[in-house]
Amino acid sequence: MLDRMVSDERRQQKRFKAQEGAFAALGAQDNRLGQIKDISIQGLSFRYIDGNETLENANELKIILGDQGLYLDNLPFKKISDFEIKSEFSFSTVKMRQIGLEFGELTAEQKTRLDRFIQFHTINED
């Protein structure tokens, strides 16, 4: 819990909750795909099913909108965190994880599209 509080305090940009149907995919074959939990101009986090695959060399990040398909691809990133999420159901055998990523150097077009994504595909919780 303390680690989580420290990481929240390090954030310099507000995170926005993504709308339903917004996904992130990591890896060339979208090996790690999950719903985006939150996003900012500096990074995002998403939850995925733990398939026990190792993607240490994964270098491709995509943002996908369920109703529109691929929205952004080839986003540079650095992994900040990756942890298991406790299941609410003791009988569940599916392991869920959450990964936090920091964006690398984005092109002007990527920044513009990311700004638009945040503007039109997130929920303002203020």
CATH number at residue 109: 2.40.10.220
Record the pTM: 0.81
> How confident is the model over 33-84, as pLDDT tens digits?
899 999 999 999 999 988 776 666 677 899 999 888 999 999 999 999 999 9
What does the alpha-carbon distance between residue 82 and residue 101 come to, in Å, rounded to a whole number?
A: 9
Centre a 10 Å sphere on the Cβ of residue 51 and count the other Cβ atoms it contains. Answer: 11
* Number of domain units in the chain: 1
The string of pLDDT tens digits covering residues 91-110 is 667 888 999 999 999 999 99
Residues spanned by the domain of 116:
2-123
Q: Which residues contact 79 (CB under 8 A, 6 or more apart)?
A: 99, 100, 101
